[in-house]
Amino acid sequence: MGLLLLLASALLTSHFHTGSQVDAQTAFTIRSVRLTIEPGTDVARGTDVTVRCQAAVSSSGQETLTREYTIYKEGIVVYTKTTSSSEDFLYPLSEARASNSGKYKCKVSIQSRSLESNAEKLTVTGLSDPVLHLKKGVVTEGEDVTVRCTAPGETGSFFFYFYDNSKEIYGVQANTNQTETTLHFATGIHRVHCTYTVFILPDSFKSNKSNTVNVSVKELSIMPFLKVSPQSMIYEGDRLNISCSVRGYLPSSESIELHLSRENDLLSTGYSEISHSMLAPANVPELRFECRLTSGNVVKVVTNNVPVTELFSTPTLTVSPAEVFQREKMMLTCKSQRYATERINESELTYTLDPEERARPTMSRGVFLSTAPPEDINYTCTAEAKGIKKQSQALALRPKVSVSTPFISVLGTAILGQTIQIHCDTAKGSLPINYTLIKGYEPVAWKTVHLFSEKAVFSITINKTEDIKQYMCAAANSHRGELLGERLSANVIEPLTWATLSAVPDLDDLSEGQQLHLICKVKGSMPVTFKWYRVGSAIPLNITTVQQKHKDYHVPVLSKEHNGQYYCEATNPAHIMVRSEELSIEVRLALWKKALIGGMILLVVSLLVLAMCVLHYKSKRGKREGAAELSVKPSSPKSDDTLTVSLTRDTEVYNAATVKVDRAVVSVWTERKPETAVDEESSMVSNEPDVEYTEVVHPRSSDPARAPPRKGTDTVYSELQNAPQGAADLHDYGSVEYAELNSEQPETAQRHPEVSGCQDLPVPVD
């Protein structure tokens, strides 16, 4: 035994290993999966339909691959099969029904791989006709009728409908193709049929009508009976006796119930006979009674409408006078206009007033005297006779309030010369109120106010300020006459007519550091809003509102920055703006600045004068020193005939010692000093002999080494001068030669023409 088990185990193991090796050696791919519906997607009921699933698979080995086919309908699995055949998989639908309609799809799975096909929708049209069956076609009143409706050959989810004479009377849902139910019919002949609807989500399909079956319901001989006594001429307050009973025979053993009611009020219940007694109520012209018989499913009803005659009419309540004012006398009257004279007389009618503590009855029936209360109140009255009471409708008494003394006011602002609104009003008073506007003592306008939202407003024009005090109001809302109020007291605004701008201090006396007040004055009513502007700027310098007709704009410290043109604008509650003329402001320098500038100018002038004097002194001193630097030297050996005088600072000497007149050069040594000139030098040499000047003409040297001769004439001056005091060692002067500078430096002579006016002779050098 053990040997056999061992051998079987070996064989199985060998088989499994072989299969694994085959599977491992087989390579495949699912190329496509295609689903088709044959003979088509739209077919009639009863057609044999085939759903074909075709898979295209490619493999490398000779081994057969195991395939699993799955069919889906609307995403739900309806069939699965595993096969090793490569043939197309067929899913048959024999005699297709509407329930087979829907979207189909297939999936092919091989080992761990799978592929789904496209979806195709199948539509099966047509349903089988329903069949209606009744167990019993003739029944008595109240008997149940069992009916059954069938949908032959159909599957799915159903909803059945039952009809009585083409009117739907019942509906029921079922999961099978038939349903049975119990119906109730009233007496008579009924034609019954049924239909059904199949639900194949998301669609539904409705069938045709079934066969029609007649149901005959026989009426039972049993009937309810209703009796009302008395049967005629029933008045309000009369006693009524009502009875409800059964007439006829009930063949079944069902119990009987009776119900007696009036409208919605159940009066009595019982089994064979019931009754009820009551008084005919007031204000009900007709009474409707009902007697209902119930036995199983049998319900029978009989009714009776009983008319009721009015004993007396509902009273009405009136007040006199029609307009009642608080705490005034009034009369209330309660009266029934009609009553049944055959049943009662007028003396039998009694009247009461509610609330009665506010009124007292009079000798006249239904008449009450009272005083109008200070508040609103509702009155009612009741008329009574033979136990019948009738209440009148409520009389809402709203006692009117007499007007109080009216008061008068101005709406908005009263502006002289313009239309203003005058309002007349009272603190209390019932509407309507008549208002009269009076000027002086003459009425000038009238207005009646009917609503609380209305106002008594009158439009007038005031041309003089004092005219406003002539107006007053009168008010009235009753026959007692008008009440006159006080005269109007209101401020009348006079529009501004002009504005002026002035300055303090005077414009001619403005200097830096001072204060300035720009005063704007107007003519008109206060308060006034003043604005000051500087020309060129739209932003005001200052805005202020005051209860006066003038106001100033203060500049605490003036400066040059305040120069410019200024003006002011003003408005008052009349909203008419006036503007002043422009005022030019020019700020002068401060006194200390003027003094400082004057002192600076004097200082600068003094410094300039001092500088000029110093320059003049230095100029004179320089000329003397320049002349003293001229030294006398013997002529060079090469020139025995002349002595050459070296000239240092030749340009200065030339500038200071020569002037050009009429194109002639005049040496300072050719003119004598004017006798009137008195200076230090003249005083020092007053005892010395005059200096003589001799013009010596020297021949020009023919030495070629010398400079080429100059054009013109060379003039040589020899100075013969006595030695000054204190210089005795100088006995004679050599021949001195001066080069003529006029032709040498003309430009220098041109730059200093003024020197000729204040030059002096040179002073000999010690």
Span 694-738, pLDDT tens digits: 344 444 434 444 434 443 433 333 333 333 343 333 334 333 333
- Of the candidates 553, 552, 554, 561, which has an alpha carbon nearest to the alpha carbon of residue 512? 561
Q: Which residues of the chain, if any, have pLDDT below 50?
A: 1-24, 630-766
Q: Starting from the edge strand earliest in sequence, which strands make up the sheet with 298-307, in order?
A: 265-270, 257-262, 286-295, 298-307
CATH 3.40.50.1370 assigned to 407-493: no
Residue at token pair 């106001």: 551
CATH class of 19-124: mainly beta
Which CATH code for domain 316-397?
Answer: 2.60.40.10
Determine the pLDDT at residue 545. 94
Q: Which token pair is 706?
A: 């010398």
Residue at token pair 């000729």: 756
Between CA 578 and CA 521 the distance in angstroms is 11
DSSP assignment, residue 98?
A: G
Determine the pLDDT at residue 25. 52
Q: Give the domain 498-588 fold.
A: Immunoglobulin-like (2.60.40)
Distances (CA, A) of 263 to 2, 235, 365: 100, 19, 37
Distances (CA, A) of 360 to 213, 366, 380: 80, 10, 14
Determine the pLDDT at residue 756. 38
Geometric angle at alpha carbon 318, from 313 and 321, rounded to 5°: 160
Which CATH code for domain 128-218?
Answer: 2.60.40.10
Between CA 331 and CA 322 the distance in angstroms is 10
Q: In the chain, where are the structural domains located? A: 19-124, 128-218, 223-307, 316-397, 407-493, 498-588, 620-757
User: Amino acid identity of 386?
Assistant: K
pTM of the entire predicted model: 0.43
Distances (CA, A) of 317 to 380, 381, 387, 663, 759: 7, 7, 21, 148, 145
Q: Does this chain's domain 19-124 share its CATH topology with 316-397?
A: yes
Between CA 762 and CA 442 the distance in angstroms is 121
Determine the pLDDT at residue 153. 85
Determine the pLDDT at residue 232. 86
* Element of type H or E holding 8: helix 2-25
CATH 2.60.40.1930 assigned to 223-307: yes
Say if CB 354 and CB 381 are below 8 A apart: yes
